[in-house]
Amino acid sequence: MKLSNSHKQIITAIGATIFASVLAYTTVHYLSFLRNLENIATDIRIAAFQPNQPQSKDVVVLAINEATVTQFQYRSPIDREFLSKTLKTLEKKGAKAIGLDVIIDQPTEIFKDNLLKKTIDELKTPLFISYSITPSIVNEDQLEYLNRFVPEKMRATANMATDPFDGSVRWIYPGEASADEPKGFARKALELIGQETPKRLVEIAWRAKPDMETPPFPIYPANTLGVLPDIWFKDKIVLIGAVLSITDRHKTPLSVVHGEGDDGMMPGVLIHAHSIAQLLENRSEPGISPYAKLVIILLAGLLGILIGFLKKGIIFNVTMGVVLVAGWWVGSMLGYQYGFPLVPLLAPTISLGLSIWMMDILIGKAERKQRQFVQGAFSRYVSPEVVKQLVANPEALSISGKRTELSFIFTDIAGFTTLSEKLSSEALSAVLNEYLDGACQIVLRYEGTVDKFIGDAIMCIFNAPIAQADHPERAVKCAIELDHYAEEFRKRQNALDIPIGITRIGVHTGIATIGNFGSQTRMDFTALGDTVNTAARTEGVNKYFGTRICCTQDTVSKITHLSFRKIGDVVLKGKIESVGLYTPVLEEELNNGLYQDYLKTYDAITNAESGVLELVEQMCQKYPQDSLFQFHVNRIRSGVISPLIVMEDK
């Protein structure tokens, strides 16, 4: 079975989406410089856009700092008698569990070593102690001593799960990588208080500070423990560890903003505090699963394909791509403050860019050739908007039309026939071309379609070929601007002794048949039907009322943001039923009171109130330049007091 061009394009698009997405995912995952860029984008969000969180109420850090170690004869290992006293004091203060983030891998003073060993064995408070079997951390002799000193049930692997691409600690190390390795430090803490934890790498949800001055966890100098209130430690998980300037420091995602400080190069005990608090509070990981990442990357690739299918050209495609990427990056950065997860940024960007580029290569050349053909064949016959539709959808070249609601503008210059007799052909052509050019620019600015010119008259269509939900209001606003333009143009020409008349404008909305009509050698995009005739007659009746813009009830009823004065219920030439006709109210008419006075006067005419003639005559004197007051006073003087107007001619 032979595939159509549209089916071939869909298959091509699916293949391009998959290829671009897989390529983006794998390159960012395996190429170190791209992975580092993705990490930086992630770290910026974590460090700069994370919402503030209250200080932890469950985890406390007892910090071995410079003030602590200076009271001993040696800095390392930490004085074992001091550690023994610290553990006993914490038990007295009611600690829920104690984590000793100190590797006890070598002997010191025998008395102090035995004292600490005795304390560890006798302590009733759940205790877990840093442990490692990693050769780079402990050699065989050290491991043997560590195994003798620390009971197996208290061992907690202190290793950090770092990113191999940039060395940052990003996950909670689960431990149990082998039969000899105990659970990771954070998992051991949760085990001792009876809480299950996953045996896998869990991305750390770093706890943000409550404010610039307050740390995420209460941190107290270890040497001050004896004088601190018991309530600060009661029922807390207390972690004991070094926060010394060059000891046990690890790079974290926060370093992208905080550099070498405690947040950027964080002491291991604080990393354990973040990990334990996260597991204890069941806080979700900040990122998303690999499958979810792949879905986002696929959607970005699909979006690039859809942009290509718009067939707007490479400049449009690139511009749209840049706008979407910028929106995705900025939205993801700022959205992280409000709970938006850590979604990938670089891989979707690459996927989007690749798919746009591939679509331009795969179908762009053929589309450009087709576009050139359509533009060359039809630009001379139809409006630019129609050409755009034909370029985007060649199937629109079908001769058959469709019925739809449209808004029409018809314009005509009063006395143009007389003007054409007075001017030379060259002068007439120059004036008319200048007038039509300015008028067309206004119509196109409101995205109307200039259907045709009939001498000095213009026929315009709104809501075709491009759908416009606000087409009635758009048409009226366009008519108001056309009126302003035409009046300024008339005044300039009259000043040059060129007696061009006023421009009369009609606006009507209704159902008509729109489409391409003609033969294989000549087609015209236009509208057909009685609605078109009504629109043309609406323009013509302006001369009867002295107005310059006339709009039908069908148009006015669909507009809420503009004001109108009702002319009357008019039975147009050749019609049986009347149609409400209106003229737009300009801003100056709202400000000078004319609109309000007219509403009162029209109500009096509608209700045939006594004294209506005197009222209308007063309005004529108050607004001598207004044609509608003059129209109504002439009718009333002839004995007609009614909003119904029957036209004898066009």
Q: Considering only CA atoms, which of 450, 319, 313, 321 is closest in space to residue 370? A: 313
Predicted local distance difference test score (pLDDT) of residue 385: 60
List, in order, residues 6 or more apart from 36 with CB less than 8 Å away. Answer: 165, 166
Residues in the chain: 650
Predicted local distance difference test score (pLDDT) of residue 5: 55
Q: Can the peptide bond before residue 77 be classed as cis, meaning omega within 30 degrees of 0?
A: yes
Is 250 in contact with 265 (CB distance < 8 Å)? yes
Predicted local distance difference test score (pLDDT) of residue 394: 59
**CA terminus-to-terminus distance, the chain:** 60
Predicted local distance difference test score (pLDDT) of residue 377: 43
Euclidean distance between CA atoms 222 and 76, whole angstroms: 15
Q: What does DSSP assign to residue 231?
A: G
Predicted local distance difference test score (pLDDT) of residue 2: 47
Q: Considering only CA atoms, which of 130, 73, 116 is closest in space to residue 248? A: 130
If 0-12 CB within 10 Å is exposed, 13-18 middle and 19+ buried, where does residue 365 land?
Answer: exposed
Euclidean distance between CA atoms 147 and 43, whole angstroms: 38
Q: Considering only CA atoms, which of 33, 26, 15, 25 is closest in space to residue 355? A: 15
Chain mean pLDDT for the chain: 88
Q: Token match 């729109």: residue? A: 514
Q: What does DSSP assign to residue 511?
A: E
Q: What does DSSP assign to residue 361?
A: I
If 0-12 CB within 10 Å is exposed, 13-18 middle and 19+ buried, where does residue 312 land?
Answer: middle
Take residue 600 and report the two structure tokens written for it. 């009162």
Is 524 in contact with 557 (CB distance < 8 Å)? no
Residue 91 dihedral angles phi and psi, to the nearest 5°: -65, -40
Is 180 in contact with 133 (CB distance < 8 Å)? yes
| Fold classification of 384-584 (topology level) | Alpha-Beta Plaits (3.30.70)
pLDDT digits (tens, 9 = 90+) for 206-259: 999 998 889 999 999 999 999 999 999 999 999 999 988 666 789 999 888 877
The Cα-based distances of 224 to 67, 77, 82, 421, 477 in angstroms read: 10, 19, 12, 108, 78
DSSP labels, 232-244: GTTT-EEEEEE--
3-state secondary structure of 204: coil
Predicted local distance difference test score (pLDDT) of residue 392: 64
What average pLDDT values come out for the chain (650 residues) when binned by 10 residues?
58 79 86 88 88 93 92 90 96 96 93 95 96 91 94 94 90 93 95 93 93 92 94 96 81 83 85 96 89 90 85 84 93 88 92 86 63 54 58 57 93 87 88 93 89 90 89 97 96 92 96 79 78 93 95 96 94 88 91 92 92 93 93 92 82
List, in order, residues 6 or more apart from 385 with CB less than 8 Å away. Answer: 444, 447, 449, 465, 466
What residue ranges do the domains of the chain occupy?
A: 5-46+288-375, 59-280, 384-584
